[in-house]
Amino acid sequence: GAGVSQTPSNKVTEKGKYVELRCDPISGHTALYWYRQSLGQGPEFLIYFQGTGAADDSGLPNDRFFAVRPEGSVSTLKIQRTERGDSAVYLCASSLTRFNEQYFGPGTRLTVT
């Protein structure tokens, strides 16, 4: 079956701009997660959705970062006033429930110039 998909695969933006990153989870998965992976590091947790609600956004680095999942399926990660330090690969994952293993998408490589 189809896995987790993410668009765009690459995004280059100028410092100060706004960006949106999209995630399509595996059909039927109720739990959705965003992680961020910097060069030479493992993925780091950003936010977890159970259904439509953000159950835990404790990993978001600051209030420039926001994510939504309005219909309990597709999610969008939004970054305002981007900074060069935001450059990383943003990964989305989904799982059947919060108690199951997580499946990752291919990621969006964000470069802020």
Comparing CB distances to another protein, the nearer of 93 and 112 is 93
In angstroms, rounded to a whole number, what is the distance separating the alpha carbons of residues 16 and 24? 26
DSSP character at residue 84: G
CB of 37 to another protein, least distance (A): 8
Nearby residues of 8 by Cβ (< 8 Å), 6 or more positions away:
21, 108
Q: Which residues bind another protein (CB under 8 A)?
A: 3, 31, 33, 35, 40-45, 48, 56, 58-59, 91, 93, 95, 98-99, 101-107
CB of 101 to another protein, least distance (A): 5
Comparing CB distances to another protein, the nearer of 23 and 82 is 23
| Paired residues of 48 in beta bridges | 33, 56
CB of 3 to another protein, least distance (A): 8
In angstroms, rounded to a whole number, what is the distance separating the alpha carbons of residues 63 and 54? 14
